[in-house]
Amino acid sequence: MAVTQVSIDTHLLPILEQVSDPEIPVLTVLDLGVIREAKEKDGTVYVKLTPTYSGCPAMDVIGDDLKIAFAPLGKKVMVELVLAPAWSTDWISESGLQKMEAYGIARPLSESADKDVLLAGAKKVICPQCKSTDTHLVSQFGSTACKALFKCEACLEPFDYFKCLK
């Protein structure tokens, strides 16, 4: 899926960078690619937010956090949830992926590799702790909707894998 155009007023970027994902606090909402549009008009910031998963409880929290972030500047925030085009893991920025790995979550692979590791048990997911690929799937569902649970056979540590979504 092609990455669609993001349209954010540049003067809003420094504030948006302070708002992070409540589940993966090292990622800002910009890293995650969930903010598709942010425009200021007459002291109100209009934000278009695309949910990662339909039921992701982080979306309501992000909406509230945006309001809190802009409040000291006297700006109101209006959040609109936009479902189409649907969010994809391709929208996570490269720096976001690096921060995610440093945080201990393995980055999403390509769609076909994802199928291999989640179905056929192929060893392609890299352990974020020791970089071994000797890893296996423990559970297709992890601590949040966007993650699956893996275990590394080399360092024996369990870790989260961010599922590829396209």
Partner 1 sequence: MKSEHLYNYILGIADNSLILGQRLGELCGHGPSLETDIAGTNISLDLIGQTRSYYQYAAKISGENKTEDDIAFLRLERHYKNVLLVEQPNTHFGYVIGRQYLFDVFHLLLLKELQSSKDETLAAIAKKGIKEVSYHKRFSGDWVKRLGDGTPQSAAKMQEAIHDLWPYTQELFDMTDADTAMALEGVGVDVSKLKKAYYKEVTDLFELATLEVPQSTYFSRGGKKGVHSEHMGYLLADLQYMQRTYPNMQW
Distance, CA of 3 to CA of 39 (rounded, Å) = 20
* Residue 56 sits in the site that holds partner 1 (CB under 8 A): yes
Nearest distance in Å: CB 24, partner 1: 16
How far the first Cα of the chain sits from its last, in Å, is: 7
Q: Which residues pair with 80 in a beta bridge?
A: 48
Distance, CA of 90 to CA of 82 (rounded, Å) = 17
Q: Give 18 or 139: the residue with its C-beta nearer to partner 1.
A: 139
Contact 95, 150 (CB under 8 A): no
Nearest distance in Å: CB 63, partner 1: 13
* Residue 149 sits in the site that holds partner 1 (CB under 8 A): yes
* Residue 128 sits in the site that holds partner 1 (CB under 8 A): no
* Residue 143 sits in the site that holds partner 1 (CB under 8 A): yes
Nearest distance in Å: CB 20, partner 1: 21
Contact 141, 160 (CB under 8 A): no
* Residue 57 sits in the site that holds partner 1 (CB under 8 A): yes
What count of other Cβ atoms lies within 10 Å of the Cβ of residue 140?
A: 10
What does the binding site for partner 1 look like in residue numbers (CB under 8 A)? 51, 53-57, 83-86, 118-119, 138-143, 145, 149, 163, 165-166
